[in-house]
Chains A and B, each alone.
Chain A
Amino acid sequence: QSVLTQPPSASGTPGQWVTISCSGSSSNIGSDNVYWYQQLPGTAPKLLIYRNNQRPSGVPDRFSGSKSGTSASLAISGLRSEDEADYYCAAWDGSLSGWVFGGGTKLTVL
Chain B
Amino acid sequence: QVQLQQSGPGLVKPSQTLSLTCAISGDSVSSNSAAWNWIRQSPSRGLEWLGRTYYRSKWYNTYAISVKSRITINPDTSKNQFSLNLNSVTPEDTAVYYCARTKSGDLDYWGQGTLVTVSS
Looking at the complex, which of A13-21, A70-78, A90-98 is the stretch in contact with chain B?
A90-98
Quick check: is B75 within 8 A (CB to CB) of the other chain?
no
Quick check: is B69 within 8 A (CB to CB) of the other chain?
no
How far is B69's CA from A30's CA once the two chains are assembled, in angstroms?
Answer: 29
Contact (Cβ within 8 A) B49 A47: no
Interface residues on B, range: 20 to 34
Instruction: Supply 26 A–B pairs (Cβ within 8 Å), ascending by A.
Output: A2-B46, A2-B47, A33-B106, A35-B106, A35-B107, A43-B113, A44-B98, A44-B111, A44-B112, A44-B113, A45-B98, A47-B106, A50-B106, A50-B108, A88-B47, A92-B105, A98-B51, A98-B64, A99-B39, A99-B49, A99-B107, A101-B46, A101-B47, A101-B49, A102-B46, A104-B47
Q: A-side interface residues toward B, CB under 8 Å?
A: 2, 33, 35, 43-47, 50-51, 56, 88, 90, 92, 96-104
